[in-house]
Amino acid sequence: MLRKKAKPVDELTAISNSLLEDLAKTKFALDTAYSNFENVTEPDLIDCYIYELNAAQMRYRFLLKKVKALPDNNAS
């Protein structure tokens, strides 16, 4: 029976940091899309920002699930 090797702590830290950085960037994109949506009146731009909001929300949820699924490497 083959078993997966445990990833080294350094690799998990790098993955975790990368995911957290992507999550922060996505949060910023989400905040920007909300701000833009609230400040437009043109119907085409409203539609555009609705699509941006939906995409950013989906990406944020995806990344959040990935972060929550990481093993807790803070345990000593």
Q: Is 32 left (phi over 0), alpha (psi -120 to 50) or beta?
A: alpha
**Is residue 38 one of the residues assigned to a domain?**
yes
Structural domain that includes position 54: 20-69
Query: What is the predicted pLDDT for the residue at 5?
Result: 59
* Residue of higher predicted confidence among 71 and 23: 23
Mind listing the pLDDT tens digit for each residue in 20-54?
999 999 999 999 999 999 999 999 999 999 999 99
**Is residue 35 one of the residues assigned to a domain?**
yes
**Is residue 46 one of the residues assigned to a domain?**
yes
CA 54 from centre of chain: 13
How many angstroms separate the CA atoms of 4 and 22, rounded? 26
Q: Is the pLDDT of residue 76 over 90?
A: no
**Is residue 74 one of the residues assigned to a domain?**
no
**Is residue 4 one of the residues assigned to a domain?**
no
Taken as a whole, the chain contains a residue count of 76
How many angstroms separate the CA atoms of 16 and 29, rounded? 20
**Is residue 12 one of the residues assigned to a domain?**
no
Q: How many domains does the chain have?
A: 1
